[in-house]
A and B are shown apart, each in its own frame.
Chain A
Amino acid sequence: GIQVEQSPPDLILQEGANSTLRCNFSDSVNNLQWFHQNPWGQLINLFYIPSGTKQNGRLSATTVATERYSLLYISSSQTTDSGVYFCAVERRTNAGKSTFGDGTTLTVKP
Protein backbone atom coordinates (compact mmCIF):
# COMPACT_ATOMS: atom_id res chain seq x y z
CA GLY A 1 0.00 0.00 0.00
CA ILE A 2 0.88 3.66 -0.06
CA GLN A 3 3.37 4.93 2.52
CA VAL A 4 2.74 8.23 4.30
CA GLU A 5 5.57 9.77 6.32
CA GLN A 6 5.18 12.85 8.48
CA SER A 7 7.96 14.92 9.95
CA PRO A 8 8.99 15.89 12.48
CA PRO A 9 7.30 13.41 14.82
CA ASP A 10 7.38 15.92 17.68
CA LEU A 11 7.70 19.68 17.75
CA ILE A 12 7.88 22.07 20.70
CA LEU A 13 7.45 25.82 20.12
CA GLN A 14 7.15 29.00 22.08
CA GLU A 15 3.93 30.91 21.57
CA GLY A 16 4.26 33.24 18.59
CA ALA A 17 6.72 31.09 16.66
CA ASN A 18 6.16 29.76 13.15
CA SER A 19 6.43 26.13 12.07
CA THR A 20 6.34 23.88 9.01
CA LEU A 21 5.06 20.30 9.07
CA ARG A 22 5.79 17.95 6.20
CA CYS A 23 3.96 14.98 4.67
CA ASN A 24 5.66 12.73 2.10
CA PHE A 25 3.78 10.01 0.23
CA SER A 26 4.99 7.18 -1.96
CA ASP A 27 2.44 7.09 -4.81
CA SER A 28 0.21 9.32 -6.91
CA VAL A 29 -2.78 10.62 -5.00
CA ASN A 30 -6.07 12.23 -5.96
CA ASN A 31 -6.70 13.82 -2.64
CA LEU A 32 -4.85 14.89 0.48
CA GLN A 33 -6.23 16.15 3.76
CA TRP A 34 -4.71 17.76 6.85
CA PHE A 35 -6.34 17.26 10.25
CA HIS A 36 -5.81 18.57 13.77
CA GLN A 37 -6.62 16.23 16.67
CA ASN A 38 -7.19 18.03 19.96
CA PRO A 39 -6.33 16.54 23.38
CA TRP A 40 -9.86 15.11 23.68
CA GLY A 41 -9.49 13.15 20.46
CA GLN A 42 -11.68 15.24 18.16
CA LEU A 43 -10.36 15.43 14.61
CA ILE A 44 -10.95 18.65 12.71
CA ASN A 45 -10.44 18.87 8.97
CA LEU A 46 -8.06 21.76 8.27
CA PHE A 47 -7.54 21.46 4.53
CA TYR A 48 -8.66 19.36 1.60
CA ILE A 49 -5.78 20.04 -0.76
CA PRO A 50 -4.99 17.57 -3.57
CA SER A 51 -2.77 20.22 -5.19
CA GLY A 52 -1.87 23.89 -4.95
CA THR A 53 -1.96 26.24 -1.99
CA LYS A 54 -4.73 27.19 0.42
CA GLN A 55 -4.84 29.55 3.36
CA ASN A 56 -7.15 29.78 6.35
CA GLY A 57 -6.18 32.44 8.86
CA ARG A 58 -2.82 31.61 10.43
CA LEU A 59 -2.69 28.23 8.69
CA SER A 60 -1.78 27.50 5.12
CA ALA A 61 -0.99 24.36 3.16
CA THR A 62 0.77 23.54 -0.07
CA THR A 63 0.67 20.23 -1.95
CA VAL A 64 3.11 19.48 -4.78
CA ALA A 65 1.53 16.31 -6.13
CA THR A 66 4.18 15.73 -8.81
CA GLU A 67 6.88 15.62 -6.12
CA ARG A 68 4.69 13.71 -3.66
CA TYR A 69 4.73 15.99 -0.66
CA SER A 70 2.59 18.48 1.23
CA LEU A 71 3.49 21.17 3.76
CA LEU A 72 1.39 22.68 6.54
CA TYR A 73 2.46 26.10 7.79
CA ILE A 74 1.42 27.46 11.15
CA SER A 75 2.23 31.10 11.80
CA SER A 76 2.17 32.98 15.11
CA SER A 77 1.40 29.77 16.98
CA GLN A 78 -0.94 29.78 19.97
CA THR A 79 -1.30 27.31 22.84
CA THR A 80 -4.60 26.18 21.33
CA ASP A 81 -2.68 24.93 18.29
CA SER A 82 -1.26 22.12 20.43
CA GLY A 83 -2.27 18.61 19.49
CA VAL A 84 -1.52 16.10 16.78
CA TYR A 85 -1.53 17.01 13.09
CA PHE A 86 -2.30 14.24 10.62
CA CYS A 87 -1.95 14.02 6.89
CA ALA A 88 -4.20 11.57 5.00
CA VAL A 89 -3.93 10.63 1.33
CA GLU A 90 -6.14 8.76 -1.13
CA ARG A 91 -4.49 6.90 -4.00
CA ARG A 92 -5.71 7.42 -7.54
CA THR A 93 -6.07 3.66 -7.87
CA ASN A 94 -8.02 3.25 -4.63
CA ALA A 95 -10.64 5.96 -4.51
CA GLY A 96 -12.55 6.30 -1.27
CA LYS A 97 -9.83 4.82 0.93
CA SER A 98 -7.59 7.27 2.78
CA THR A 99 -4.34 6.30 4.48
CA PHE A 100 -3.13 8.34 7.46
CA GLY A 101 0.40 9.16 8.51
CA ASP A 102 1.52 8.73 12.12
CA GLY A 103 1.16 12.43 12.83
CA THR A 104 3.22 15.30 14.21
CA THR A 105 2.67 16.12 17.89
CA LEU A 106 2.87 19.87 18.40
CA THR A 107 3.26 21.45 21.81
CA VAL A 108 3.04 25.25 22.02
CA LYS A 109 4.31 26.68 25.30
CA PRO A 110 3.10 30.02 26.69
Chain B
Amino acid sequence: DGGITQSPKYLFRKEGQNVTLSCEQNLNHDAMYWYRQDPGQGLRLIYYSQIVNDFQKGDIAEGYSVSREKKESFPLTVTSAQKNPTAFYLCASSILRDRVGGYTFGSGTRLTVV
Protein backbone atom coordinates (compact mmCIF):
# COMPACT_ATOMS: atom_id res chain seq x y z
CA ASP B 1 0.00 0.00 0.00
CA GLY B 2 1.17 3.51 -0.75
CA GLY B 3 1.83 5.84 2.09
CA ILE B 4 4.16 8.19 3.89
CA THR B 5 6.49 6.94 6.63
CA GLN B 6 8.14 8.99 9.33
CA SER B 7 10.83 7.69 11.63
CA PRO B 8 11.55 7.50 14.44
CA LYS B 9 8.25 7.93 16.30
CA TYR B 10 10.05 9.27 19.38
CA LEU B 11 13.39 11.05 19.48
CA PHE B 12 15.36 12.50 22.36
CA ARG B 13 17.97 15.17 21.74
CA LYS B 14 20.63 16.50 24.04
CA GLU B 15 21.42 20.18 24.15
CA GLY B 16 23.72 21.18 21.29
CA GLN B 17 23.05 18.12 19.14
CA ASN B 18 21.78 18.01 15.59
CA VAL B 19 19.17 15.34 14.84
CA THR B 20 17.61 14.22 11.58
CA LEU B 21 14.00 13.15 11.11
CA SER B 22 13.20 10.85 8.23
CA CYS B 23 10.24 11.16 5.84
CA GLU B 24 9.72 8.75 2.93
CA GLN B 25 6.73 8.47 0.57
CA ASN B 26 5.85 5.93 -2.13
CA LEU B 27 2.82 7.79 -3.46
CA ASN B 28 4.74 9.36 -6.37
CA HIS B 29 3.76 12.76 -5.01
CA ASP B 30 5.61 15.81 -6.31
CA ALA B 31 5.49 17.99 -3.21
CA MET B 32 6.57 17.32 0.35
CA TYR B 33 6.18 19.42 3.50
CA TRP B 34 7.38 19.63 7.08
CA TYR B 35 5.15 21.05 9.80
CA ARG B 36 5.70 21.62 13.49
CA GLN B 37 2.90 21.30 16.07
CA ASP B 38 3.14 22.55 19.63
CA PRO B 39 0.66 21.36 22.30
CA GLY B 40 -2.83 22.77 21.82
CA GLN B 41 -1.88 24.60 18.65
CA GLY B 42 -2.22 24.29 14.92
CA LEU B 43 0.49 23.29 12.46
CA ARG B 44 3.20 25.71 11.32
CA LEU B 45 5.12 25.22 8.08
CA ILE B 46 8.89 24.73 8.37
CA TYR B 47 9.97 23.89 4.80
CA TYR B 48 8.38 22.59 1.63
CA SER B 49 9.63 21.20 -1.67
CA GLN B 50 7.77 21.00 -4.98
CA ILE B 51 10.54 19.37 -7.01
CA VAL B 52 13.74 17.40 -6.49
CA ASN B 53 16.77 19.52 -5.54
CA ASP B 54 14.62 22.54 -4.71
CA PHE B 55 12.90 23.65 -1.51
CA GLN B 56 11.50 26.82 0.07
CA LYS B 57 11.38 28.18 3.59
CA GLY B 58 8.10 28.19 5.40
CA ASP B 59 7.08 30.42 8.29
CA ILE B 60 9.46 29.03 10.94
CA ALA B 61 12.56 27.78 9.06
CA GLU B 62 15.19 29.18 11.44
CA GLY B 63 17.18 26.41 13.11
CA TYR B 64 16.09 23.75 10.60
CA SER B 65 17.51 22.41 7.35
CA VAL B 66 16.22 20.03 4.66
CA SER B 67 17.31 18.28 1.49
CA ARG B 68 15.41 16.78 -1.45
CA GLU B 69 17.84 14.58 -3.33
CA LYS B 70 15.18 12.02 -4.26
CA LYS B 71 11.50 12.46 -5.04
CA GLU B 72 10.59 9.94 -2.33
CA SER B 73 12.60 11.43 0.53
CA PHE B 74 12.56 14.74 2.41
CA PRO B 75 14.62 14.55 5.64
CA LEU B 76 14.52 17.34 8.21
CA THR B 77 17.53 18.23 10.38
CA VAL B 78 16.88 20.04 13.63
CA THR B 79 20.09 21.91 14.35
CA SER B 80 21.52 23.19 17.62
CA ALA B 81 20.48 26.66 16.48
CA GLN B 82 16.83 25.74 17.11
CA LYS B 83 16.40 26.93 20.69
CA ASN B 84 13.09 25.29 21.46
CA PRO B 85 12.88 22.09 19.40
CA THR B 86 10.58 20.06 21.64
CA ALA B 87 7.46 19.51 19.50
CA PHE B 88 5.54 17.10 17.30
CA TYR B 89 6.86 17.08 13.72
CA LEU B 90 4.64 16.08 10.82
CA CYS B 91 5.60 15.37 7.24
CA ALA B 92 3.10 15.51 4.38
CA SER B 93 3.02 15.04 0.63
CA SER B 94 0.71 15.97 -2.24
CA ILE B 95 0.43 15.95 -6.00
CA LEU B 96 0.67 19.33 -7.70
CA ARG B 97 -0.82 19.03 -11.17
CA ASP B 98 -4.50 18.28 -11.76
CA ARG B 99 -5.11 18.32 -8.05
CA VAL B 100 -8.19 16.54 -6.88
CA GLY B 101 -7.01 15.67 -3.42
CA GLY B 102 -5.15 17.19 -0.54
CA TYR B 103 -2.27 16.30 1.71
CA THR B 104 -1.36 12.87 3.00
CA PHE B 105 0.34 13.02 6.39
CA GLY B 106 2.77 10.67 8.09
CA SER B 107 2.20 9.58 11.68
CA GLY B 108 4.69 12.09 13.09
CA THR B 109 7.85 12.23 15.20
CA ARG B 110 7.77 13.49 18.79
CA LEU B 111 11.06 15.24 19.58
CA THR B 112 12.06 15.98 23.17
CA VAL B 113 15.12 17.84 24.39
CA VAL B 114 16.67 16.21 27.47
A96 at the interface (CB under 8 A from B): yes
A31 B102 Cβ-Cβ under 8 A: yes
- What per-residue 1/0 map shows which CB atoms of A79-102 lie under 8 Å from chain B? 000000010100000001111111
A55 at the interface (CB under 8 A from B): no
CB proximity of B38 to chain A, nearest CB, Å = 11
A45 B43 Cβ-Cβ under 8 A: no
B108 A86 Cβ-Cβ under 8 A: no
Contacts of B104 in A (CB 8 A): 45
Main secondary structure of the interface of B (DSSP, over half): strand
Known: A45-B101, A48-B99. A96 touches B48 (CB 8 A): yes
How far, in angstroms, from A97 to B31 measured CA to CA in the complex? 10
- What per-residue 1/0 map shows which CB atoms of B78-114 lie under 8 Å from chain A? 0000000000101010001001111111011010000
Contact for A33 among B31, B44, B50, B103, CB less than 8 A: B103
Residues of chain B at the chain A interface (Cβ within 8 Å) = 31, 33, 35, 37, 41-45, 48, 50, 56, 58-59, 88, 90, 92, 96, 99-105, 107-108, 110
Residues of chain A at the chain B interface (Cβ within 8 Å) = 1, 31, 33, 35, 40-45, 47-48, 86, 88, 96-103
